Amino acid sequence: MDMCGIVGVLGTGKASSELYNGLFAIQHRGQDGAGMYVADGKNTKLKKDGGLIDEVFDKQALDDLKGGWGIGHVRYPTIGSDVDQDAQPFKVDDPIEIGMVHNGNIVNYREMEEEYDLELKSNCDLEVILHVFAEELKKEEEIDADALFSAAERTMDNLNGSYSVIALIPEMGLFVFRDPRGIRPFVFGKKVNLDGTSIAFASENTVLDILGYKVLRDVMPGEAMLINSDKSYQSRQIKNVLPKHCMFEWVYFARTDSTIERINVYEARFRLGRELAKEWKKNEHNLDVVIPVPDTSRTYALALAEELDIPYREGLMRNRYVGRTFIMPDETSRETAVKTKLNPIIEEVKGKKVGMVDDSIVRGTTSKKLTDLMKRSGAEEVHFLVGCPPIISPCYYGIDIPTKEELKASSKSIEEIRKEIGADSLTYQTIDGLVRGISKDKDELCLACLNENYPTKVREDIREYFGEMRKEARKKVDPEQSKLS
């Protein structure tokens, strides 16, 4: 399962340089591994490894990746994954050389493995996508543009899940396709300068902005596109169903300065903060100060403080060299990270009734630690406010939201959660407030982790398989985690 970031470029002077800067812009989407596959004519080179972008690619590595076409990937550690095996890109040589990256998750991974009799070398579902696409391409008499689109259509017919895919085919160009529900984000743009024209694809538009590309539009759900070597491109709408965009992109995952499905993330989070303020007004508590949990929650807190006419203060300082605790694979590393990641500004909280704003509560570990931290720093009261509604069910589409047993809200009331995290009150966003804040039609959002209405069929045996896989992997990371099951 991968919640990752992808970039693809064609026609630039030095693809590896643009990929490096582009992936750096979406490093927040994955801090566990990185990779690039670059082509210079028909010569290709693939490099991938564990670590951050600047750890995997030094100047020499970038110089060795010669060519004007390339694809790149950053990934985060998800349960059951092995960075040495699962890092992207992947490539095949039959029936034609293809390198591929993706962001998303295939629900019927094991079914596809059996149906196509695949001998996989990893647990990464991209390998399934790549091999299924290659097998379908082998059925074509001639490998041309029509063959690619036909193979993509049959691949989509067989895959259940989320996927934004970029394939680099050295003999042809870039070929991309997106799942029919458009669950994970995907944009493309164009740059024209003295060096000529180049085309780029990415998970978030900020990549294109930073690299100097004009964002043309989103790759549409169910769409496939071929970018030819001469920069011309053709597109086909292969599937056309109601989209189900992941609400968590706006709530947490995307950069604040990104625009996802034409909705700016900053503006959405600001509206979500105002919606949260409406919920807060329904109780009888008072606040002296509003403090965000850095960094995602700043926008929520700013809007909430403005709406309530309460001072906004920075009461927690973040160590920027500690990664996101949500995406850390085991509780021990998450707890250690919380202790070293955030340090209170005691003068801003001592003797005050603090409204602490966070984007979401998943396991509750961080929330409890932060409440304790505030109270040890002298806060008179700590009121926890959450920008996302209660998360009650796992995600099967690419965000590592864990098993039901680990999700606080799946089996506990809001009052029970409040007591567990030690807060004086706990205020959640509502689903209706979330939809109003994002400003997308409710039917076009995937809210499955909030209401269990999954946009594709997820059979019970598949749910059990994912749950058991996570539990077993956690035991391997830390035997004490077996208690979670």
Distance separating alpha carbons of residues 200 and 11, to the nearest angstrom:
9
Distance separating alpha carbons of residues 104 and 98, to the nearest angstrom:
19
CA dihedral sign of residues 267, 22, 210, 207: negative
CA dihedral sign of residues 476, 477, 483, 485: negative
CB 190 within 8 A of CB 216: yes
Distance separating alpha carbons of residues 73 and 341, to the nearest angstrom:
26
Catalytic annotation, pick one of 4, 124, 246, 395: 4
Distance separating alpha carbons of residues 6 and 122, to the nearest angstrom:
19
Query: 35 - beta bridge partners?
Result: 48, 73
> Is 388 in the active site?
no
| Cα distances (Å, whole numbers) of residue 416 to 371, 379, 385, 394, 475 | 15, 22, 15, 20, 27
CB 400 within 8 A of CB 3: yes
Q: How far apart are the first and last CA of the chain?
A: 20
CB 10 within 8 A of CB 21: no
Distance separating alpha carbons of residues 415 and 209, to the nearest angstrom:
44
Nearest in space to 75 (alpha carbons), one of 161, 158, 7, 133: 7
Q: Residue holding tokens 């993330």?
A: 265
Q: Residue holding tokens 């962001």?
A: 103
- Give the number of C-alpha atoms closer than 13 A to the C-alpha of residue 166, restricted to the C-beta side: 34
CB 483 within 8 A of CB 467: no
Nearest in space to 475 (alpha carbons), one of 411, 409, 403: 403
CA 12-18-22 angle, 5° bins: 135
Residues 6 or more apart whose Cβ sits within 8 Å of residue 296? 252, 256, 269, 359
Distance separating alpha carbons of residues 3 and 42, to the nearest angstrom:
31
Count of H-run helices and E-run strands, the chain: 19, 23
- Chain centroid to CA 224: how far? 21
Distance separating alpha carbons of residues 395 and 161, to the nearest angstrom:
11
Residues 6 or more apart whose Cβ sits within 8 Å of residue 440? 245, 261, 263
Q: Which residues are catalytic?
A: 4
